[in-house]
Amino acid sequence: SLQSRTILFVPSYYDFVRVKALFKSDGTGMRYATLSEYSTGADITRVRARFFEGLVDFLITTERFYFYHRYKLRGARAVVFYSIPAHTQYYSDYVNMLSEGDESLSSTALFSLLDQHSMVRLLGSARARAMFRGKQHTFALA
């Protein structure tokens, strides 16, 4: 099931454009907004307010947006990482943006074999190696 108030963190601008086009062509009427390094101050203010008020279900952001602006995106109940961030501190920053007091919070990170170096920076070599060599497809981190 789809969860409202979800931040979709996309590290590369190329993937951001692809995800944005996917949302646009979906045809289900999902309410989404985007924030990138090219967003104006007025756009950022408007999108952040709409997301916090629940008028936008999905907020698609780029890693470079957070690099340049460092806004706290309030009201998030879920974070989905399209790929592991190049700056590993951004992972914990975005997870810490999840609304406190809400019991249905979640963080999901999608990764592939190409993300091995990023996973080592995020989790350490032993945990990352165990994840890539294991038979599981889903991992829970605390």
Note whether 91 and 7 are within 8 A (CB): no
Full-model pTM: 0.85
Q: What is the pLDDT along the chain (142 residues), one digit of tens a residue?
A: 457 899 999 999 999 999 999 999 987 778 999 999 999 999 999 999 999 999 999 999 999 999 999 999 999 999 999 988 888 899 889 998 887 766 778 888 888 888 888 888 888 888 888 888 878 777 776 6
